[in-house]
Amino acid sequence: MKGRLGIGIALLGITALLGGAVAANAAEPYRIGAAFALTGPAAVIGDPSAKIAEMLLGEINAAGGVKGHQIEMITYDTESDPTKAVTVIRKLIEKDKVLAIIGPTSTGAAMASIKFIQDSEVPMVACVGGAPVVIPVKKWVFKSPQTDILAVERLYEHFTKEGIKKVAILTSAGGFGDSGRKALVAQAGPLGFEIVADERYNDKDTDMSTQLTAIKGKDAQAIVVWGIGPAPAIISKNAKQLGVAVPVFMSHGVADPNFI
């Protein structure tokens, strides 16, 4: 449901933008681009996003499209790579002549694409959680999911109710992890929380036992993991193997069936 809602919001934004577009003739479809991570660590988000986008696009077209124009979507795989994402977005704009873009999937890919999007003046609705994509406000750049700033606020509200004050954080070294870590650290002090351990990992790492062992030596009451893809699931398994006794909280980046 969350995936459908997020992609639905993104497509709603795209169709609103297309409402002011001008086609060459009444029969010409509005062409949009999609830049999703269909492979790599972010594919757990990108692949279902692409499927949901296709499903919702079918519903929109079946209902008559936008102002009588069908919507054609051209989709490319960013391969969970920020550099590849920029190449894909450049191709969509310069070769395919799309009117707007939905995606990319990851915060790092969206951040890498911003300058080209602003220079090209083609609107992009990113499907990412990182706040820096839209804060500060940037012309032509939008996003659909809630920000990590809001997610951290809700997490700390829960910790307050549970009497948790000492927190260990284990965050991805990618764009989403960087943004989440910044929010976790920035809000901790003012809200009365202490970060007792601050560990990092890479999205393609296959074992995080070293970081968890370091955290286990601290007096944390909870561990917060911030990232996407297979790594958070590996961290959960490693925590179980090491006998970590405190609860492990995941970011909204793992809100997908593949994690379980």
Residue 13: predicted pLDDT:
58
Task: Note the residue count of the chain.
Answer: 260
Q: Quick check: 52 pLDDT over 90?
A: yes
Q: Where does the pLDDT of residue 14 fall: very low under 50, low under 70, confident under 90, or very high at 90 and above?
A: low
Q: Is 106 helix (H, G, I), strand (E, B) or coil?
A: coil
What pLDDT, in 10s, does the model give residues 159-179?
999 999 999 999 999 999 999
- The pLDDT of residue 110: 96
Task: Return the structure tokens found at 115.
Answer: 């300058």
pLDDT digits (tens, 9 = 90+) for 60-116: 999 999 999 999 999 999 999 999 999 999 999 999 999 999 999 999 999 999 999
Strand 222-226: give its sheet, edge to edge: 194-201, 166-172, 222-226, 248-250
Domains (range + CATH), the chain? 2-143 (3.40.50.2300), 148-254 (3.40.50.2300)
DSSP state of 146: P
Q: Are 138 and 239 within 8 A, CB to CB? A: no
CB 194 within 8 A of CB 169: no
Average pLDDT score over residue span 199-209: 96
Which residue's entry shows tokens 């497509």? 11
How much is the pTM?
A: 0.80
